């Protein structure tokens, strides 16, 4: 009877153990999640070693001293989607579900439940009767967003005009703002001078 009981206790443990082999890279844990790379795709494991976000190729890597890899911060991880040659950034949650659709021209990891992003604004200027097409003007603003994608602060009030074409927008536009504390952001102007702004108020 004791042998049967021991076998019954061991079988579930053996049945649920997971071995992850032949991975190219394993990152340190951030928000109790670690990124693992295999064949140019990334996945996430939890602190028990279970894959909780399966391998995919849309996760955005960040630069760290020990390598480039995606991370979770405040329960969000950056993803990127390409449309007509232009990259758009969004976020997934710890289940791998998209919670902020890719709509930003660039975005950062979250810090204290705030991220910086380039919010795209579309303005219809009129219509070209010869081509029967709308004349559209695009510009982007640097903003802070919360973990569901709501814009909380405009860091730049003058939009930057942009052409949404892969020949003109070969890489994501650069930020002129950076978060220096939980509630402070600095923005650099055209003259190279910095402006300090409070957020989260």
In this predicted structure, what is the pLDDT of residue 157?
Answer: 85
Location of structure tokens 């220096």: 180
In this predicted structure, what is the pLDDT of residue 122?
Answer: 83
Mean pLDDT of the chain: 87
In this predicted structure, what is the pLDDT of residue 12?
Answer: 46
Sign of the torsion formed by the C-alpha atoms of 85, 142, 137 and 191: negative
Q: Which tens digits make up the pLDDT trace of 24-83?
A: 999 999 999 999 999 999 999 999 999 999 999 999 999 999 999 999 999 999 999 999
Q: Which tens digits make up the pLDDT trace of 119-168?
A: 999 877 666 666 667 777 899 999 999 999 999 999 998 889 998 888 88
Give pTM, 2 decimals: 0.84
Q: 87: closest CA among 66, 71, 67, 102?
A: 102
Residue pair 36/69 in contact (Cβ under 8 Å)? The answer is no
Can you read off the two tokens belonging to residue 83?
Answer: 């449309």
Mean pLDDT across 184-188 = 90
The residues pairing with 184 across neighbouring beta strands, listed in sequence order, are 198
In this predicted structure, what is the pLDDT of residue 183?
Answer: 86
Residue pair 71/54 in contact (Cβ under 8 Å)? The answer is no
In this predicted structure, what is the pLDDT of residue 117?
Answer: 97
SS3 10: helix
């Amino acid at each position: 009877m004791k042998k049967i009981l021991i076998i019954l206790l061991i079988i579930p443990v053996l049945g649920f153990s997971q071995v992850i082999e032949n991975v190219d890279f394993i990152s340190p844990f951030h928000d109790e999640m670690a990124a693992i790379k295999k064949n140019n795709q990334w996945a996430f494991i939890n602190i028990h070693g279970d894959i909780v976000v399966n391998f995919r190729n849309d996760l955005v890597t960040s630069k760290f001293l020990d390598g480039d890899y995606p991370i979770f911060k405040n329960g969000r991880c950056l993803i990127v989607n390409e449309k007509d040659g232009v990259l758009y950034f969004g976020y997934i949650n710890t289940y791998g579900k998209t919670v902020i659709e890719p709509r930003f021209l660039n975005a950062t990891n979250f810090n204290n439940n705030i991220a910086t992003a380039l919010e795209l604004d579309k303005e219809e200027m009129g219509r070209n009767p010869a081509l029967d097409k709308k004349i559209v003007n695009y510009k982007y603003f640097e903003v802070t967003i919360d973990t569901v994608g709501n814009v909380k602060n405009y860091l730049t009030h003058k939009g930057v005009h942009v052409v949404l074409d892969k020949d003109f927008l070969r890489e994501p536009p650069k930020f002129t703002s950076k978060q220096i504390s939980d509630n402070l952001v600095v923005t650099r102007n055209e003259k190279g001078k910095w402006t300090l702004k409070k957020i989260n108020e």
